[in-house]
Chains A and B, each alone.
Chain A
Amino acid sequence: MDERELETAKFYTRARRIPMLVGKMPSGGRIWGGPYTITQIGAGALVGFVLWKTAPLWAQLGGFMNVVLAAGIVIGTVWLTGKIPSTGRNPATWLMDALNLTTSPGRLSGGRLVIARPRRLNHRVMVLLPDGDRAARLARTRGWTGPDLVPVDDVDQREVATGTGEMPLPPLTPTDLIRDDDRETASLTGVGELLAGKLRRKDG
């Protein structure tokens, strides 16, 4: 007895995100050492291109040796990029994000990237409240022209957002900051100890 009906719920991400590998030339011929991932091909091509364009800088070893060195670097790059573990993301965009994060200001794809670090998030928001709303009424009766408060019946008048208004009501003190250890009454009882000790999952 006590048997329950169980069901399996599956994900089909792998069925649709098929890793693209290239093992054949468009002509149908097999690529030596393949198949390769797009990343490997891209990285190999990019490194090859850079080496070709910067040849005067490094090609000091003499004709044949230069080719061997370049081929070695390209093969090494292809081999290394083949070892990148699968993270669920496109390695190229990951690299782009990493560069975005770590270079400031930096240069990517020929464009200048300026990253304010840390960045400040500001809001300029208009709030539209129904006519009967208490907060709207409160704001209007006190003649307060708060930064963002626009009662709906005034929407056609287009208000300019002004600076910080006077706080019409005192702010609440976050109760978490109140610590009054002098009060007599219950101290940390069973539940408190339980929470402190995080014993919860012992019962399986």
Chain B
Amino acid sequence: MLSHISALTDGLMWTRSGIVWAVWRVSPIPYAYQPDDKKHAARRHHTALYRALRGESLHLGLVAATDPVSVVEAMVEGVDVAEHEAWAAECNATLDFLEHIEIGRRVHWIAAPLPNPGAKAVLEPLQASWAALKDQLMLPRAVPSKHAIGERAAQAEMLRKEMPSAFDPRPASVAEMAWLFGHAMQRGLGLDMDVPVHGSLDAELHLTGAAVLPAALIDPAGQTDATRRLTPMQILKRPYVKVIDPEYPDRASYQSTLVVSDTPSGGIVYPGCEWIGRVDESSVPCDWAIRMTVRSREEVTGRNRRAVRTLNDQFDQRSEEERAGSSLDGTARALGEYQAVMDADELEVEVDATTMFTVSGPSAEQVLDDARDLTKYFASMQFKLRNDPTVQPALFDATLPGIPTPRAVREYSQITTARSFAAAVPFATTDLGDTSGSLFALEISNGASRPNPVFVNLGGASDKLDVALAMGFVGELGSGKSVALKSVALDNIDRGATLIAVDHTDMGEWGTAVSEVAGSQVVEIAEDATLSMDPLRCLPPATAPRVTRSFLTVLLSVQTKSEQNVLLSKVLQPSYMGRYGITSLGSLARHLESECELAGAHTLADEMRIFSELDFGRAVFDDTLPAIDLDAPAIVMHTNRLQLPSRSDMEHSHLFAELKAEKVFGRAVFALIAALARHRCFKDRTRLDIFAADEAHKTMSSPEAAEEIGMFIRDGRKHKAALLLGSHDAEEDFGNEVVRGLIPFRVLLRHRDENLARRGLRWLHGQQSDAQVDPQLIKLITEGTAPVMDGAVGVPEERRGECLVRDFQSRYGRAKVLAPLVVSRAETVKTTPTSSTGTVIRS
């Protein structure tokens, strides 16, 4: 049998029946895990789409496999792999890992037959028949003329402009249409390639092969599998088609198309029952196709009137049967309600749609199992799916564009309004992340049956989106915050970025994490310090005095308008420092003590000695230690022994006045770290530099450090400087409202406390502190995210890293953070002071 399609060009499809179809690729709208207002907006877009599409159309949601190679290509984009060997190793490991799992995403299409107005209604079919006859006679083939192409393209464009721009419909390229047909021929075999990108090598391969559209052998009920002729009853017990590629007869794809044959009589609840948009949650891999006819309100009113006449006649015919209340009364009520809905909204239209789900696999048994699972999934929502054995080949055709709607498909159609059908939200996506970058996580919004890669491109993609370069991680102890933070940081170091991190853990886990990075430096702010972070020694002369003065001002509690401040300004002038050979804080202290003749110098020296003689003051004041190299690829500031003033210390003047020297030192050092980080990260605008502050509440408890971080986040984007913050509660720990609000990429991990989970969700969705939160989401965070099974098991390995994510484009979804895939690297990252049950192992 010859297919209906006679010619293809970008966005258009000529058929042998004289109908030209327009085919568009559409972009789905982010849906699951979005706040309710965004969900309602998505539904409104769907309603508008159905109202724009008068007449027949075919809507498709096909699962396209993602080639692991394409994932790795996205990971190496813009990175010279030869120069970054660690990244190459990670990419290799990723490739190996991805080959063990199926990844892919749903791609969406709309196809519609274009009307043949006026004389065309007769001429086009005649021309099509003439072309078919010429084909039969092996005469030269006719192709649509340039004029015809132009005319049809204009017709299609008119229709495209009617559709809501939210779906961004664009004419499908010939390669994409070829993919569509190829996909239908080999569903369920795992042979699919990614949808070809226009102009790519893939697209060329699709177009320059032996045939553009692949031939197929369609065997209803898989009769070629039987050794003997099947009896009619046996045939009817095999509700599937076997699609065979004539070139590879061994590769058979079994496909079964299920049709929605009944809908819930009470209707469906919205939001919550998006029966097509959330079909992936069934965990049955399937393609969906909707053949719909949209009718105007006037036409529907006419049909409803006829239905009323039929109903009256039926009341008469069934008068005997219908005495004690009957189904006809229900029908009458529904009809009245339907007409009332139509009357109430002038723009409302009727959607008469047949929804089909195609399950597929390499064997008939698998297909029937999947069909059963999907039927059960829909039965739980009171939808009835029917696996009609008699029309499987017709249903297979019905899921492809260019083929007239088969009769059986019309018989199964379900009638509703555009607004009600839009509640199914078919064009929904849960895509997350950037298009390239490091592989941060796998998106598991639809369950883990078909995850999607989530890339984070701190340096690149975020540039175009004009958002701050910052990621925030919130979760309880042991929820995986630190692993996530370290994974992002290390991936980026491998890709050529630099890191400066504050590590407040006793184990020094960040030090362990960067141990494999060549040239990394760890500053122990303790008596056993081996490196010095003296600003006068590690900063260039132009910046050093300013940062040093800020540090000393905080350390020595110097008032702005005081003699001490004037003195500090004088001694920290580059010319003065040059004259007296002041090159470090140690030499400054010695100078003030012995050489300096300026008033108040000795007092200042005495005050400095309080801190320089503290055992952990060495990291700043001991000039015998080598200074850190601010150009090192990774610097970790190990601050676990530092004490910090509490909030009440800072708020009450009497407590502040009695602050211990250790706490004052801690406060000043955190401010110094933030200043050093800002200097280092802002220096080079071409290179990505990361400042990571895990346990951000510690860093933020120094007001000066919090201020530095505020400036960091506001200006970081211009300097390609990224900020990573991690803590337990965004509201308390991420500084002020501006910092909290400016963090575009938000990751919310497990919080078993309901109140903290609610606060975390508000931050994730950017809501007010008294906003309502979806209780289901709270339950998801408290119980369904990386759940702790019991004290012995902790979090099962396969559930670790689960979280909710808001990406740079403000899309939401559920994901599983991926620790580095190179085993040795993964081990360094996973070293954590807490067990997965949240109990501290060492303290």
Contact = CB atoms under 8 A, between A and B. Distances in A.
A100 B259 CA distance: 20
A190 B799 contact: yes
Interface string B97-113: 10111100000000000
Given A21-B318, A88-B261, A179 B99 contact: yes
A117 to B, nearest CB: 6
Interface string B183-227: 000000011010000010111110111111111111111011000
Contact of A16 (B149, B193, B235, B415): B415
Given A88-B412, A126-B8, A175 B99 contact: yes
B319 interface: yes
A116 B1 contact: yes
Given A98-B236, A101-B235, A116-B1, A171 B205 contact: yes
Given A14-B330, A98-B236, A8 B783 contact: no
A147 B270 CA distance: 50
B5 A123 contact: yes
Interface in A69-88: 87-88
Given A139-B208, A193-B797, A125 B7 contact: yes
A149 B262 CA distance: 45
Nearest to B211: A147
Contacts of A164: 210-211
Given A118-B217, A159-B140, A12 B416 contact: yes
B321 A98 contact: no
Interface string A86-104: 0111100110011011110
B554 interface: no
Interface in B778-818: 778-780, 783-785, 787, 797-801, 816, 818
Contact of B823 (A129, A146, A185): A185
Contacts of B775: 2
A56 interface: no
Residue of A6, A35, A164, A186 most packed against chain B (CB within 10 A):
A186
A18 B204 contact: no
A126 B799 contact: no
A61 interface: no
A50 interface: no
Contact of B818 (A89, A128, A191, A194): A191
Contacts of B263: 11, 13
B152 to A, nearest CB: 11
B205 A149 contact: no
A151 to B, nearest CB: 11
A186 B823 contact: yes
Contacts of B449: 195, 198, 200
B270 to A, nearest CB: 5
* Most B C-beta atoms less than 10 A away, residue of A89, A165, A187: A89
B228 interface: no
B318 A23 contact: yes
Chain A CB within 10 Å, residue with most, of B143, B174, B199, B447: B143
Contacts of B146: 152, 155-156
Interface string B390-423: 1101100000000000011001111111011111
B267 A122 contact: no
B1 A9 contact: no
B594 to A, nearest CB: 61
A189 to B, nearest CB: 7
Interface of B, helix, strand, loop or mixed by DSSP: mixed
B267 A10 contact: yes
A192 B407 CA distance: 43
Given A14-B334, A127-B9, A175-B67, A24 B390 contact: no
B210 A165 contact: yes
A125 B6 contact: yes
Contacts of B784: 203-204
A34 B320 contact: yes
A13 B208 CA distance: 46
A112 interface: no
A158 B141 CA distance: 6
Contacts of B144: 128, 155
B321 to A, nearest CB: 6
Given A93-B411, A158-B143, A195-B448, A24 B774 contact: no
A87 to B, nearest CB: 6
Interface stretch (B309-317, B455-463, B678-686, B695-703): B309-317
A11 B416 contact: yes
A165 to B, nearest CB: 7
B821 interface: yes
A53 interface: no
Contact of A102 (B6, B190, B219, B232): B232
B468 interface: no
Contacts of A158: 140-143
Contacts of A90: 411
A121 B215 contact: yes
A89 B798 CA distance: 45
B679 to A, nearest CB: 38
A106 B144 CA distance: 38
A176 B70 CA distance: 13
Interface string A151-194: 01001101111001101110110111111100101111111111
B321 A23 contact: yes
A128 B826 CA distance: 51
B164 interface: no
A29 B823 CA distance: 86
B798 A167 contact: no
Counting chain B CB atoms within 10 Å of each CB, the highest count among A10, A160, A177 belongs to A10
B334 A15 contact: yes
Interface in B427-455: 442, 444, 447-449, 451
21 contacts: A8-B269, A9-B423, A14-B330, A15-B335, A18-B314, A21-B317, A120-B215, A120-B217, A123-B5, A127-B9, A134-B204, A139-B208, A152-B149, A175-B67, A183-B96, A186-B822, A191-B97, A192-B101, A198-B283, A200-B448, A203-B780
Interface of A: 1-18, 20-24, 30, 34-35, 87-90, 93-94, 97-98, 100-103, 116-130, 133-135, 138-139, 144, 146-150, 152, 155-156, 158-161, 164-165, 167-169, 171-172, 174-180, 183, 185-195, 197-201, 203-204
